[in-house]
Amino acid sequence: MGKMTYLEASCQALADEMKRDELVWAVGEDLGRGGVFGQYKGLAEQFGTDRIADAPISESCIMGAAVGAAMMGSRPVVEMRFADFALCATDELINQAAKARYMFGGQARVPLVVRHPIGMWRSSAAQHSQSLEAWYAHIPGLVVVCPATPADNFGLLKSAIRCDDPVVYMEHKDLWPLEGEVPNESDAVVPLGKARVVRSGNDATLVTWSGMVHVAARAATALADLGIDLEVIDLRTIWPWDKACVLASVERTSRLIVVHEAVAVGGFGAEIAATIASRLHYSLAAPIVRLGAPRVPISYAPPLEDALRVTDTQIVEAVKRLVRK
């Protein structure tokens, strides 16, 4: 399909899936005019306003209605605008969508995708910048996806829409304009639960996802100049995460660093670190390193916001300490 932005890739994936399956529809605020970031551009014209449905500013009802519609067999794609606003629909996602299949003993299926745009986006401040993937990974019943590239935003969104369970689909707002190669449709579906090795290396394993994949890749290039060969793994799906891929890599490198934009405390990096420590403790050559945001709400002024970001320089320094022999 050639070069596409991360945003265009998601728009194309949704259009493809809506053509493929007439049960797929999208609902959220401002979708009729293309969505707040333009990720639904042209879809209302193509599919009509029943299937690209504008909604009132009623997050509870957007999410709850999607649960009811999904239980009736349709496949809603829910737009939450900002992951932060999705917190207004916490009951509907966590108590209803995630649990309906289980608590009704398998009578219900809830095949919906809820799109939560995450991450720092210059000076959006505390209520428009959060990365809350760890919260949802904690909830049984949910699949959690964090695409980092245009190809993955195409292939993973397709897989998410075809998934018969609720998927929390977290796109990074800073990545919307990112360009990249998107393969042809036939082979472009990316399976859920499979990580991607961004760069192979032998000295240490770095596990990350979402926007931080690109920061880590820059750090890996800088480290290569210093003679340090870093393997970078993009987890892509946070739940279920690709343990096999990470375990195999760390078995080989004996060193692990986990990096995410979200607050380090209670972040999903802690889960990965704990799993690797319990499985590979005696083959680790150094203590596991975690990098994430300090436990501070995201700030507004650019220098203050930047103080809360994990940078490629921090990663380089952390990896240098990690591999010091």
Partner 1 sequence: MSVANVENLSPDELFRWREFHRAMLRIRLFEDAAVRALKEKLVPGPVHPSTGQEAVAVGVCANLHKSDILLSTHRGHGHTLAKGADILPMMLELFGKQGGYCRGKGGSMHIADFSVGMLGANGVVAANIVIAVGAAHAIKLRKSREIVTCFFGEGAINRGPFLEGLNWARVFGLPVLFVCEDNSYSASTRTQAMTAGEGASARAASMDIPTAEVDGNDVVAVDQAAARWLDEIRAGKGPRFLHARTYRLTGHTAADAAPYRPQSELDEGLLREPIRRLAARLTNAGVTSEELVAVAENVGAEVEEAYANAKLAPYPNVSVAFEDVQDIGDPRLEAF
Q: What is the set of active-site residues? A: 128
Note whether 247 binds partner 1 by CB under 8 A: no
Residue span binding partner 1 (CB under 8 A) among the ranges 105-113, 221-229, 247-255, 308-316: 105-113
Residue span binding partner 1 (CB under 8 A) among the ranges 64-72, 208-216, 252-260, 308-316: 64-72
Least distance from partner 1 to the Cβ atom of residue 29, Å: 13
Least distance from partner 1 to the Cβ atom of residue 55, Å: 8
Of 19, 45, 95, 304, the residue at the interface with partner 1 (CB under 8 A) is 95
Burial class (CB in 10 A: 0-12, 13-18, 19+), 281: exposed
8 Å CB contact between 181 and 151: yes
Considering beta carbons, is residue 67 or 318 the nearer one to partner 1? 67
Note whether 21 binds partner 1 by CB under 8 A: no
Note whether 324 binds partner 1 by CB under 8 A: no
Note whether 178 binds partner 1 by CB under 8 A: no
Of 69, 215, 217, 289, the residue at the interface with partner 1 (CB under 8 A) is 69
**Between residue 266 and residue 295, which ones bind partner 1 under the rule CB under 8 A?**
275, 278
Least distance from partner 1 to the Cβ atom of residue 28, Å: 13
State the Cα–Cα distance between residues 68 and 108, nearest whole angstrom. 10
Considering beta carbons, is residue 199 or 243 the nearer one to partner 1? 243
Total H helices, total E strands in the chain? 12, 14
Of 104, 126, 177, 300, the residue at the interface with partner 1 (CB under 8 A) is 104
Note whether 107 binds partner 1 by CB under 8 A: yes
**Amino acid identity for residue 68 in this structure:** G
DSSP letters, 72-120, are TT-EEEEE-SSTTGGGGGHIIIIIIITTHHHHTTTS-----EEE--BS-
What residue ranges in 90-239 does DSSP mark as E strands? Answer: 113-115, 143-145, 167-169, 179-182, 196-199, 204-208, 230-234, 237-239
Of 63, 146, 213, 259, the residue at the interface with partner 1 (CB under 8 A) is 63
Considering beta carbons, is residue 61 or 222 the nearer one to partner 1? 61
**Amino acid identity for residue 54 in this structure:** D
8 Å CB contact between 319 and 229: no
State the Cα–Cα distance between residues 83 and 47, nearest whole angstrom. 26
**Amino acid identity for residue 109 in this structure:** R
Note whether 101 binds partner 1 by CB under 8 A: yes
Tokens representing residue 2 in the block: 């050639």
Considering beta carbons, is residue 7 or 100 the nearer one to partner 1? 100
Letter string b/e over residues 241-250, b meaning 16 or more CB atoms within 10 A of that residue's CB:
bbeebbeebb
Note whether 28 binds partner 1 by CB under 8 A: no
Note whether 60 binds partner 1 by CB under 8 A: yes
Of 32, 34, 38, 64, the residue at the interface with partner 1 (CB under 8 A) is 64
Residues forming a β-bridge with 196: 234
Number of residues that bind partner 1 (CB under 8 A): 48
